[in-house]
Chains A and B, each alone.
Chain A
């Protein structure tokens, strides 16, 4: 019967070992060219759907804010106070304690010229690092992998905790790896795939022909899966993580940070923040999940003395309009804030001035900091990469790391 055969088909077998199929970062481990322990790691949390920045970092002394948001404005007594002028969303209590400890930097008015209010398009712009008038087909983290692998001195990896890979992690030549659970990365077909690999004539790692490219990708995925599965076993977190999707993802990232030394960038999405209707409830629920997951994660890192090596960076494809809509929500807007969280920040607290609600453009906030400057800073100062080559432009660097 088919069942028997199918079972045979699905059996888990030995791992791919043919070195030509190994991804570069694994080959480097064999050749003693590995990234030194204690290496710097970037964790990107994408707040999908357009998070409302004004109810995240709240200008609670601003009349225009309350006039624009009669039912969804967050009052001073409810917000978590940062300064006389500014407070944090009430659900972000853990991030507030991190802020108090000097582990949080908040950049406001981050955006780009000619902002696009389409989720798709604006997310594309943020993930590729292009300008609003260009359509690029590869992502900024992917191009970071390309640049790292060019000399291949210490090849590294970028991982996304999801079923499918975001454009941000797709380079021209190299691509990050996406998975939710390293044990399921190859869908239970390892034996068949390994058998295929063993009978595939070696092209000596040459991927000129697409068939060799596919075999190389398959082999690299199998070896990466095996490697990650092993690494995953090495560290079991003692920290309690919330039982949410993001909590699980942050635990996975923590376990890998503690054991794997080849991954420089982790990527995870949280959402969706598209709060057109009854924003107070939905944003609160999502922030609670975010806050709990980030809190467990940072505690875990601190307990293992790794917090100074990690920066968590949040972004969203756009902020929302200043004025609330008729459904107690907000519609798509423009500039937004970004959180930078880590134990080794050079600047902390509110890193720049808050939005000027008196100077709106068509009812929207005007950006002051180009998000590509933030990318350039992370690439250059944190990951030690060539930001100009990766972003194809010379963006001014900031000084928070």
Chain B
């Protein structure tokens, strides 16, 4: 294997720790020490936290209890909530595209799948997203606690129904199976006992955590060999004391950021340090990005971009404004990853699960649809009407689908600002353009397409040439990888 050039290493880092960077940024990074760049990636350009992502116009809350609303009022409320979740989806995508701290959004995307949840309350979804974004690179214990006390998660996993007299084990089970230990590392007794500890964890109409003392079981519980009058916080603490939690989280991080196939030795070493750091996520990521093995050629270009990574990456490369931003929502649906709508409690499986004949063909056409206004009449499946698991009454699918269908059978109207992109290549000579573009956009098979690209290029002007080569490169299977 040829040694990996500094430039390729930095491209790899830029993609795994974010959504790719432009040619000038990569060139700048290539001349600096790895540690310097990793620090920069971990901290972001701003020292302070990124601004909270809030809805421009949150759905108006009404004081009328749901039971007393008229049918039309309920319908209107439902539509407002759905629209607000769509707005939130688009706002987050736009933040990923423009963020100066992409790793934060990338981590948030990871946690969004790890702590999968659906809510038909936009406010709840927004609050959970903020817990995730705020703690994305913070302490895992804080993150776990914040998520476990969020209205969205308590609602999604039925903990409002978890009461002393009638325990509901769903929440306790998923906390262990999906959030901390992973399947097979706890007993059914652990679930039963911890469900009792979580009794009374609830939320109010504004999404605030509420501890309902009357619903809480104050008896002794025996959980992982310990006995006491445990509450939910105690359970989370005991789970964090269990080293398997560090192992489970590190394995998922490794699979998301490094490779689909877990490497036990590397994961164990990372997990030991993660545990010793008391679950400092930023330190864990530093250990990943600083490791020499992270830059091993077998990992570079071996990751299939998730639909969000693909879309955001493309938009970070070429600034695009959509006349109807909702088209972002359609892309996500057709490609199989819609933010705030994970397929189930386990989140998106990722890897080769993203790819089938139809989704690959759509991916290969996406750059032309966006950048050439190519027509598409691909429709996502009829969307089901409800967003949460609990709220299933009187949700009308038809009204949603009608509104939705109007968006199809249309060209995607875009306003593309190519100028900054042209500028990135201004110092590149004409004969090196195709090679440099390919080199910048792809992380694998960088050398194969040049002659072919040449035959598809529009050589009438330098700008047309850059455009056409870029779009062709983005239409390759290689561009699906990072």
Name A's B-contacting residues (CB within 8 A): 1-2, 4-6, 8-10, 48-49, 116-121, 123-124, 135, 137, 162-167, 170, 175-179, 185-187, 189, 192-193, 195-196, 199-201, 209-211, 213-215, 217-218, 220-221, 224, 269, 271-272, 274, 276-277, 282, 325, 327, 329, 331-332
Interface residue from A5, A209, A271 paired with B382 (Cβ < 8 Å): A271
B23 to chain A, nearest CB (A): 22
Residues B357 and A224 in contact, CB atoms below 8 Å apart = yes
Residue pair A276, B396 in contact (C-beta under 8 Å): yes
CA distance A263 to B445 in the complex (A): 35
Contact with A along B449-464 (1 / 0, CB 8 A): 1011001111010001
Contact status A163-B445, CB under 8 Å: no
Measured CB to CB, the nearest residue on chain A to B355 is A217
Contacts of B393 in A (CB 8 A): 276, 325, 331-332
Query: Given that A9-B472, A163-B380, A189-B475 are known contacts, is A2 also in contact with B372, CB under 8 Å in the complex?
Result: yes
Within the complex, the shortest CB–CB distance from A112 to chain B, in Å, comes to 15
How close is B242's CB to chain A, nearest CB, in angstroms? 22
**Cβ-based interface call for B58 (8 A):** no
Given A217-B357, A274-B397: A192 touches B389 (CB 8 Å cut-off): no
B417 → A minimal CB distance (Å)? 16
Evaluate contact between A175 and B452: CB separation under 8 angstroms: no
User: Could you list some 6 contacts between A and B, CB below 8 A?
Assistant: A2-B468, A10-B374, A118-B392, A124-B344, A189-B475, A211-B478
- Given A196-B449, A196-B477, verify A189-B365 contact (CB < 8 Å): yes
* Nearest CB of chain B from residue A123's CB, rounded to whole Å: 7
- Taken together as a complex, chains A and B put the C-alpha atoms of A5 and B304 apart, in Å, by 29
Task: Give Cα A119–Cα B447 distance, bound, in whole angstroms.
Answer: 47
Contact B360 A1 (CB under 8 A): no
Q: Are B395 and A274 in contact (CB under 8 A)?
A: yes
B357 touches A211 (CB 8 A): no
CA A118 – CA B478 in complex, angstroms? Answer: 38
How far does the alpha carbon of A272 sit from the alpha carbon of B382 in the complex, in Å?
A: 8
> Would you list the 10 A-B pairs with minimal beta carbon distance, nearest first?
A119-B384, A214-B477, A5-B458, A137-B349, A274-B397, A221-B357, A135-B346, A135-B344, A175-B356, A118-B389
List the B side residues contacting A189 at CB < 8 Å.
Answer: 361, 364-365, 368, 475
Report the separation of the CA atoms of residues A214 and B480 in the bound assembly, to the nearest whole angstrom. 8
Is A327 within 8 A of B302, CB to CB? Answer: no
Which chain A residue has the least Cβ–Cβ distance from B333? A164
- The residue among B71, B449, B476 with the most chain A CB atoms within 10 A of its own CB is B476
Q: Judge whether A201 and B448 touch: CB under 8 Å.
A: yes
Nearest residue in B to A215 (C-beta to C-beta)? B477
Chain A residues with CB under 8 Å of B451's CB are 199
Residues of B near any A CB (own CB < 8 A) = 71, 118, 301-304, 334, 336, 343-346, 349, 352-353, 355-362, 364-365, 368, 372, 374, 376, 378-382, 384-386, 388-390, 392-398, 401, 444-445, 448-449, 451-452, 455-458, 460, 464, 467-468, 472, 475-478, 480-481
Report yes or no: A165 in contact with B361, Cβ–Cβ below 8 A: no
CA distance A186 to B464 in the complex (A): 25
Q: A1-B460, A2-B372, A192-B456 are in contact. Are A274 and B385 (CB under 8 A)?
A: yes
Contacts of A195 in B (CB 8 A): 452, 455
Bound state CA distance, A167 and B365, in angstroms? 22
Assuming A210-B481, A211-B477, is B360 touching A164 (CB within 8 A)?
A: no
Chain B residues in 8 Å Cβ range of A276: 393-396
Contact residues in B for A9 (Cβ distance below 8 Å)? 368, 456, 472
Is B392 a contact of A5 with CB atoms below 8 Å? Answer: no
Determine the distance from Cα of A124 to Cα of B362 in the docked complex, in whole angstroms: 23
Residues of A close to B456: CB separation below 8 A: 5, 8-9, 192
In the complex the two chains form, is A163's CB within 8 Å of B475's CB? no
CB < 8 Å neighbour of A218 from B71, B336, B360, B444: B360
A166 and B380 alpha carbons, distance in the complex (Å): 10
Interface pair B448/A199, CB less than 8 Å apart: yes
B303:A210 contact, CB within 8 angstroms? yes
**Nearest residue, chain A, Cβ from B347:** A135
- Chain A residues whose CB sits within 8 angstroms of the CB of B379 once the complex forms: 163-164
What is the CB-to-nearest-CB distance from A188 to chain B, in angstroms, rounded to a whole number?
8
Report whether B452 and A199 are in contact in the complex, using a CB–CB cutoff of 8 Å. yes
B448 touches A137 (CB 8 A): no
Given pairs A178-B356, A274-B395, A277-B394, 16 additional interface contacts (CB within 8 A): A2-B372, A2-B468, A4-B458, A120-B389, A121-B389, A123-B384, A137-B343, A164-B358, A165-B356, A170-B353, A192-B456, A196-B452, A211-B445, A217-B356, A327-B71, A332-B392
Task: Tell me the smallest distance from the CB of B146 to a CB of chain A, in Å.
Answer: 23
Given A199-B448, A327-B71, check contact A164 B381 (CB 8 Å).
yes
Q: How far is the CA of A200 from the CA of B393 in the complex (A)?
A: 53
A2 adjacent to B467 (CB under 8 Å): yes
When distances are taken between beta carbons in the complex, the residues of chain B under 8 Å from A185 are 357, 361
A164 and B359 in contact, given A189-B475, A215-B477 (Cβ under 8 angstroms): yes
Q: Which residue of A lies closest to B169 (CB)?
A: A133
